[in-house]
A and B are shown apart, each in its own frame.
Chain A
Amino acid sequence: EAQVTQNPRYLITVTGKKLTVTCSQNMNHEYMSWYRQDPGLGLRQIYYSMNVEVTDKGDVPEGYKVSRKEKRNFPLILESPSPNQTSLYFCASTTNRDAFSYEQYFGPGTRLTVT
C-alpha cells in the first residue's frame, strides 16, 4: 500500500529536550516536505527536499532542522524545542515525474506538545 508514515503520532516533551519526528514514504517520490498546522493559520511549510541531500527552507523554518540521506526518509529535528512549537505536524511527498500533477501525499500527522 502506497503511504507516508510518521512516528511518533503523539509526543509530549519538555522545553529544550531534543527530539526527532521520523517520516518515511514507499512511493519512490523525489519531493518531501514538512508542514505544521495551527488554528487559523492552516498548513505552513517548514522545510522541503527535492531529492537526496537537497533541502531548502519553507515559510517557517526557524527552530527546525531536516536531513535527507535516503530517498524514502525525511526526519524533522527539533534541537531545542520551545512551547511555540506545539503544533500538529505533517510530512508529505510527491513526484516530479508527472509535470501536470502537483498532488502531495500526506502522512497521518504528529501531535507535538512542548511544556
Chain B
Amino acid sequence: DQQVKQNSPSLSVQEGRISILNCDYTNSMFDYFLWYKKYPAEGPTFLISISSIKDKNEDGRFTVFLNKSAKHLSLHIVPSQPGDSAVYFCAASAGGAQKLVFGQGTRLTINP
C-alpha cells in the first residue's frame, strides 16, 4: 500500500520554464513533507520541506505547495535550469524525524 505516490515517472521541461512535480498521499496523520533531489551515483539530498500547518514554503527558485484537503503537494521550480535535471522524491512523516515514507520518484529532464 503506497501511502505516498508520485504518479508521473518522468517529466521533460524547457530550460527557463516552470517545472511542476506532484505528489499525493493517503495518510492523514502525515504532518511534515519533504522533497529530495537525487543525481545518478549519489545519495538523495534535501531540497525543501513544509509543515502541515502551512500551505506554502519558498526557497529561492523552489516553492512547495500543500493542499491538505486534497492530500496533495507540489514542487514548483522557476525558472528551470539544466542542473535541475535529477530524480525528485517527495517524502512524508507522521510525527517523527526517524521515519520517512517516500514516493516512487519523478525523473525531471530540463532541455536546453
Contacts and interface: CB of A to CB of B under 8 A. Distances in A.
Interface residues of A, number: 30
Identify the interface centre among B34, B46, B98, B102: most chain A CB within 10 Å of its CB: B98
Interface stretch (A13-21, A65-73, A78-86, A95-103): A95-103
A85 to B, nearest CB: 19
Contacts of A96: 97-98
A42 B89 contact: yes
Contacts, number: 67
Given A102-B34, A103-B49, A109-B42, A41 B97 contact: no
Contacts of A106: 36, 43-45
Interface of A: 4, 31, 33, 35, 40-45, 48-50, 58-59, 90, 92, 94-96, 100-109
